[in-house]
Chain A
C-alpha cells in the first residue's frame, strides 16, 4: 500500500471516475467524428445549389460543437486525470511513467485540433472556401490521431499483451491484442455520434421543412457505418478478451455475501440494446424527418450516453479484480507481491504506510483494514456498499470469507493475518449494531475450527474402526 486511499463517502473514488469518464467518452468521440462531419458537409455544400444555406446551418453546428467539446469535453478529459489519481494513484503512476511521451504526443494533437478549430470558426467570414475545407479535414485528421494514441493506453489496461513490469516494452503494451478492434469500433461510433448531433442541430431549422428534412437525412447517414460494422468488430474485440473476463460474462460470479455479480453481463447488454435503439430511432428519423423534434434528437443522444455507460462499465468490470489486468489489483496490490506468501501473511497494518498506529484487535484496527484494503472500490453505505453486503455475517463466516476472498474471481486476495481478518469482521458486524469484539470473533472462529477438526478426527477414527 504505497498511497493513501481516498475514502470519499457515498460515491467512492471509483464511481467519481466512472461519472466523469462516461460523460467525457461521449463528448470526446463526438469531438472527433464531428470533424469528419464538418469536412464532408463543407465539401457537400460546395457542390449543391443551396450550399449557402447548408453553410449557415453548419455555423450553428460548429458553435454548438465548439462550446460543447471544448468546455465539457476538454475539462472532463482533464477531470479523468484528476479522478484517477485520487481513486487509483498507483495505477495512474504506472500509466504515466510508461506512457508519458505518448500522452505528451497526444497533447500536441490537442493543441493542434484546438487551434485548427478556432481558425476554422473564427475565420468563418474571412477564410476562403478552400481554406475552410482544408481546416475541417486537418481538424479531423489531427483529432483522430488523439484517439490513435489514447486507444493504446486504454486497451493496455485490459489486455496488456506481452508487456510486463520487467520488459517495460512500450510498443508491446501499446499495440496490444485489443488495440485494433477497439480503434475501429471507436472510429465508427464517432461518426454515429456526429450524425446524432447533426440531427439535433437540424431540429432548430424552423419554417423550412424541406431543408430540415434534407439535413436530418444527411446526418442520419452517418449512423450507417456503425450500424453495419460495429456488430462484426465487436466479435473481433470479444475474441481478444482475457479468458477470465469471458468466464465472468458467461457464468456470472457469486459476489460478496451471496449477491450475484452479473454486472458485466448486464452492462454489455445495456450497450448492445442502446446501440440498437439508436440505430432504430435514427432510421425512423430519416424516414419521417419532418416529425423530428429537439426532444427526439436529445433522446437519441441520451440513449447513446446510456450505451456508453454500459460499454465503459463493461470495460471496467472486464478487468476485475485488476485495474491493470494481471499486473495490479484494484486495491493497489501488485500481482507479483500477491504471490509472495510471506508478504501476504504479514500483519497488514505493519506494512501499510498510511495506517496510523492503532492498538491491534480493536475496532480501529478493523476500520483501518477497511479504509486501506476495501475502500478503493467499496463504500460503507453508497456505491458498492459493504454495510448491506455484510448484514448476515457471523464471526466464523466473515473470517472464512475473507480468507477465501480471491476465490470470488472479482476480488483481490486478502492481505493480512487471522487477527486482521477477525478485526475486519468485527468492524463489519459492528456496523450492524453487533458489538462482538475482534477478540471474541477470533475466539468463536477458533472454537468452531477446533470443533470441526475434532469432529473430523472422530469421524476418521470411526471410519478406521
Chain B
C-alpha cells in the first residue's frame, strides 16, 4: 500500500467502525508530560542495551564465521549475557509507561497479533539461554558454537520484528476491526503497513553503531590496561562496524521518510518534532566524531563522551518517534482527554528509591571494578 492509499484508508476508517477502547477509569497518575519524559529516558536506556546486545551478537557471529580471534569474541561472549539481562530489565519501565499512556491502543494491537506477541516470551528465553550456553560451554566445537549464536541472533531479530508489528499496529486503530474479526486468535502480523520494513530496519541498524562504539572503547581500555597493542584489532573492528551501522541507519531513515504519509511528515516538521530531529542528527554526528577521535587517539574520554552523546541522540529520536505516534493517533486520542488523578507520594517513593539505589550501585560497581581491574592488570603483567 502506498502512502496516498494509506491516507485514503485512514480517512475511510475514521468513518467506519473503529473500536477504540475508552481510557482507563483511573486516569493518569501524573501529568502526561512526566510520563513522556520517564518513558523517553528509560526507553533510551533500553534501546542502548538492545543495540549493544544485538550488535555485539552480530560482531560475535562475524568473528566466528571469519574465524578471527582478536579478543573481541572473548569480551563479547562474556558480556552479552549481561547485556541481555539489562536489555530485559531496562525494558520494564518503558513497557509500563507505554501501557499507562497508550494502554487502549497497545493492548488492542497486542491482542490482534496475540499469538505472535506471546511468542516473544519463549524467543527471549531462547535468545538469552543460547548466550549463556555459548559463555559457559567452553569445549564446544566451532560449528556448534556458530549454530548456538545463530539461533540467538535469529530469535532476537524475530523479537524485534514482532515488536515493530505491534507498535505500528497500535498507531493505526482503523486497521484493527478488519484484522481482529478475520482472526481473533491473533495469528497474524501487521501486513499492509507501508512503513513496517523501513521501521524495522531503522530499529535494527543502530545495533552496529552502538556495539561498534562499545568495542572501540573496550579495545582502547584493553591496550591501556595491558600496556600493549592487544586492543587495536578490537577497536578497529568496532570503528568499521560503527561507520557501516551509521550508513545503514541513514538508509533506513531515508526509507522510512519515503514511506511515511506526507501529511504526517509535514505535521511532524511543523511542530517540536523538527527541533528534536535536528538535535538528534547533530548529536549523532558529534557522537560519531567522538568515536572516530577516540579510535585514532586511543582516548578513553572521547569514547565515553561519544557513548553518552549516543544515549542522548537515541532519546531525541525516541521523542520524535513519539510525536509521530501522536500525529498518527490525533484522530482518535489525545492526552488531554484523560483525567489525571495524581499519585505524588508514590512518585516520591520511586524517585527516592531510584536515587538511593543508583548511588549504592555506583559505589559498589566502582569498588568491585577497581579490584577486578587491578587483578586483570596483575595477571597480564605476570
- Chain A partners chain B: yes
Q: Which residues of A approach B to under 8 Å, CB–CB?
A: 2-9, 13, 16, 20, 63, 67, 70-72, 74-76, 78-79, 81-83, 85-86, 89, 92-94, 96-98, 100-105, 107-112, 114-116, 118-119, 122-123, 125-128, 131, 135, 138, 142, 165, 168, 170, 353-354, 356-357, 371, 375
B111 A108 Cβ-Cβ under 8 A:
no
Q: Of A63, A107, A112, A142, which is within 8 A of B96 by CB?
A: A107
Residues of A within 8 A of B27 (CB): 97
Can you sample 17 A-B contacts with CB below 8 Å? A4-B108, A20-B121, A70-B81, A70-B85, A71-B132, A86-B186, A89-B21, A97-B103, A100-B346, A104-B96, A105-B353, A107-B92, A109-B357, A123-B368, A165-B26, A356-B181, A375-B184
B125 at the A/B interface (Cβ < 8 Å)? yes
Residues of B within 8 A of A71 (CB): 125, 128-129, 132
Residues of B within 8 A of A123 (CB): 368, 371-372
In the complex, what's the smallest C-beta–C-beta distance from B367 to chain A, in angstroms?
Answer: 7
Known: A72-B125, A89-B111, A131-B367. A3 touches B184 (CB 8 A): no
Q: Of A79, A107, A115, which is within 8 A of B361 by CB?
A: A115
Total number of B residues with any Cβ neighbor in A under 8 Å = 74
In the complex, what's the smallest C-beta–C-beta distance from B37 to chain A, in angstroms?
Answer: 13
In the complex, what's the smallest C-beta–C-beta distance from A294 to chain B, in angstroms?
Answer: 18
Q: Of B19, B86, B354, which is within 8 A of A353 by CB?
A: B19
In the complex, what's the smallest C-beta–C-beta distance from B72 to chain A, in angstroms?
Answer: 19
Residues of A within 8 A of B349 (CB): 101, 105
B267 at the A/B interface (Cβ < 8 Å)? no
7 shortest A-B CB distances, which residue pairs? A101-B346, A89-B107, A79-B121, A7-B184, A353-B19, A97-B26, A2-B21
B99 A93 Cβ-Cβ under 8 A:
yes
Residues of B within 8 A of A125 (CB): 375
Q: How far apart sit A4 and B341, CA to CA, in the bound complex (Å)? A: 26
Q: Of A72, A92, A135, which is within 8 A of B107 by CB?
A: A92
B17 at the A/B interface (Cβ < 8 Å)? yes
Residues of A within 8 A of B186 (CB): 6-8, 86
B177 at the A/B interface (Cβ < 8 Å)? yes
Q: How far apart sit A444 and B347, CA to CA, in the bound complex (Å)? A: 60
B350-368 residues at the A interface, CB under 8 angstroms: 350, 353-354, 357, 360-361, 364-365, 367-368
Q: How far apart sit A55 and B24, CA to CA, in the bound complex (Å)? A: 51
If A7-B186, A96-B103 are given as contacts, then 17 extra A-B residue pairs at C-beta distance below 8 Å, sorted by A number, are: A2-B21, A3-B21, A4-B180, A7-B184, A82-B110, A92-B107, A96-B24, A97-B103, A100-B29, A104-B96, A108-B350, A109-B353, A112-B357, A116-B361, A128-B371, A138-B360, A356-B181
Interface-centre pick from B27, B115, B124 (highest chain A CB count, 10 A): B124
Interface-centre pick from B89, B125, B186 (highest chain A CB count, 10 A): B89
A100 B125 Cβ-Cβ under 8 A:
no
Residues of B within 8 A of A356 (CB): 17, 177, 181
Residues of A within 8 A of B185 (CB): 6-9
A101 B29 Cβ-Cβ under 8 A:
yes
B96-110 residues at the A interface, CB under 8 angstroms: 96-97, 99-100, 103-104, 106-108, 110
Q: How far apart sit A168 and B29, CA to CA, in the bound complex (Å)? A: 10
Residues of B within 8 A of A2 (CB): 21-22, 104
Residues of A within 8 A of B270 (CB): none
Task: Write the chain B residue with the least CB distance to A171.
Answer: B345
Q: How far apart sit A70 and B19, CA to CA, in the bound complex (Å)? A: 38
Q: How far apart sit A100 and B128, CA to CA, in the bound complex (Å)? A: 27
A114 B117 Cβ-Cβ under 8 A:
no
Task: Write the chain A residue with the least CB distance to B344.
Answer: A101
Task: Write the chain A residue with the least CB distance to B18.
Answer: A353
Residues of B within 8 A of A94 (CB): 24-26
Residues of A within 8 A of B117 (CB): 82, 86
B354 A86 Cβ-Cβ under 8 A:
no
Known: A93-B24, A100-B29. A4 touches B111 (CB 8 A): yes
Residues of A within 8 A of B26 (CB): 94, 97-98, 165, 168
Residues of B within 8 A of A357 (CB): 17
Q: How far apart sit A192 and B104, CA to CA, in the bound complex (Å)? A: 41
A126 B372 Cβ-Cβ under 8 A:
yes
Residues of A within 8 A of B85 (CB): 70, 74, 114, 118
Q: How far apart sit A144 and B32, CA to CA, in the bound complex (Å)? A: 31
Task: Write the chain A residue with the least CB distance to B129.
Answer: A71
Q: How far apart sit A165 and B341, CA to CA, in the bound complex (Å)? A: 12
Known: A102-B346, A103-B96, A107-B96. A118 touches B82 (CB 8 A): yes
In the complex, what's the smallest C-beta–C-beta distance from A409 to chain B, in angstroms?
Answer: 26
Residues of A within 8 A of B156 (CB): none
Residues of B within 8 A of A85 (CB): 99, 106-107, 110-111
Known: A82-B121, A168-B26. A354 touches B180 (CB 8 A): yes
A119 B364 Cβ-Cβ under 8 A:
yes
Interface-centre pick from A13, A83, A107 (highest chain B CB count, 10 A): A107
A86 B96 Cβ-Cβ under 8 A:
no
Residues of A within 8 A of B92 (CB): 78, 103, 107, 110
Interface-centre pick from A9, A71, A102 (highest chain B CB count, 10 A): A71
In the complex, what's the smallest C-beta–C-beta distance from A46 to chain B, in angstroms?
Answer: 18
Q: Of A6, A108, A168, A375, which is within 8 A of B354 by CB?
A: A108
B144 at the A/B interface (Cβ < 8 Å)? no
Residues of A within 8 A of B354 (CB): 105, 108
Task: Write the chain B residue with the least CB distance to A174.
Answer: B346
Known: A6-B184, A114-B86, A353-B21. A78 touches B124 (CB 8 A): yes
B136 at the A/B interface (Cβ < 8 Å)? yes
Known: A86-B118, A104-B96. A78 touches B357 (CB 8 A): no
In the complex, what's the smallest C-beta–C-beta distance from A245 to chain B, in angstroms?
Answer: 25
Q: How far apart sit A190 and B270, CA to CA, in the bound complex (Å)? A: 56
A93 B103 Cβ-Cβ under 8 A:
yes
Task: Write the chain B residue with the least CB distance to A96.
Answer: B99
Task: Write the chain B residue with the least CB distance to A89.
Answer: B107
Q: Of A83, A102, A138, which is within 8 A of B118 by CB?
A: A83
Residues of B within 8 A of A135 (CB): 364, 368
Residues of B within 8 A of A104 (CB): 38, 93, 96, 350
